[in-house]
């Protein structure tokens, strides 16, 4: 490309010289056209500095934890005591206030079946499946006496001091009474004069 431009410039100079001389003979003095020196300067492009991008560092995300729920069930059996009941009966052949156990009481038992529910090892529910009486209780029976003991009779009427016999009728000895029993006085009336021994009602009978 540069050589073509130089040749083209030289040709142009020669043509201008011919036109200047016209058609007549050429003058004796001959000008030699000096070739035009064309200096071609080709600039070498300087590469532009390209900034190196700084890599973006992304922090790693923590692993996602998935919570798992574990549900389990378990069957258990419990036994509970059924307390025995107590009963009391009277017995007229026993002295009043006396007691005795006729039948010994025995506790019973109840069987309970449950279903337990656990979530992650923690109990969350308890359901009763069955309730059975595995052993019946036996009541305790206690007898209480009601018999009243009568004191032994001394044979003397308690309405009089001393000893006035107990009979259908008692009279004073030496009197006009016909008995069948008699008592020698005096006797003091401390209750009721059921035999009429105190005729003057002074509290003393059979004074004569």
- Nearest-angstrom CA–CA distance, 32 and 20: 14
Q: What is the pLDDT of residues 65-119, one digit of tens each?
A: 678 999 999 999 999 999 999 999 999 989 988 999 999 999 999 999 999 999 9
* Greater model confidence, 31 or 189: 189
pLDDT at 144 over 90: yes
Claim: this prediction has a pTM higher than 0.85: no
Quick one: CA torsion of 183, 188, 191, 193, rounded to 10 degrees? 50
CATH 2.20.230.10 domain extents, the chain:
71-147
Q: Are 205 and 185 spatial neighbours (Cβ–Cβ below 8 Å)? A: yes
- pLDDT for the residue numbered 57: 66
The yes or no reply on domain 71-147 and CATH 3.90.550.10 is no
- pLDDT for the residue numbered 155: 80
- pLDDT for the residue numbered 55: 65
- pLDDT for the residue numbered 168: 87
């Amino acid at each position: 490309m540069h050589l073509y431009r130089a040749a083209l410039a030289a040709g142009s100079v020669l043509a201008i010289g011919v036109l200047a001389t016209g058609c007549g003979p050429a003058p004796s003095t001959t000008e030699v056209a000096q070739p035009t020196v064309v200096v071609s300067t080709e600039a070498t492009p300087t590469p532009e500095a390209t900034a190196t991008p700084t890599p973006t560092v992304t922090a790693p995300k923590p692993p996602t934890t998935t919570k798992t729920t574990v549900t389990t069930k378990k069957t258990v059996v419990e036994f509970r005591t059924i307390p025995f009941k107590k009963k009391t009966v009277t017995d007229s052949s026993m002295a009043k206030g006396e007691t005795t156990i006729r039948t010994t009481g025995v506790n019973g038992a109840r069987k309970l079946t449950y279903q337990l529910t656990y979530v992650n090892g923690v109990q969350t529910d308890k359901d009763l499946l069955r309730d059975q009486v595995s052993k019946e209780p036996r009541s305790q029976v206690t007898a209480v006496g009601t018999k009243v003991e009568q004191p032994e009779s001394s044979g003397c009427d308690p309405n009089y001091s001393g000893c006035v016999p107990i009979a259908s009728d008692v009279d004073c000895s030496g009197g006009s009474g016909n008995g069948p029993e008699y008592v020698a006085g005096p006797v003091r009336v401390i209750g009721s004069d059921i035999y009429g021994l105190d005729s003057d009602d002074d509290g003393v009978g059979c004074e004569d």
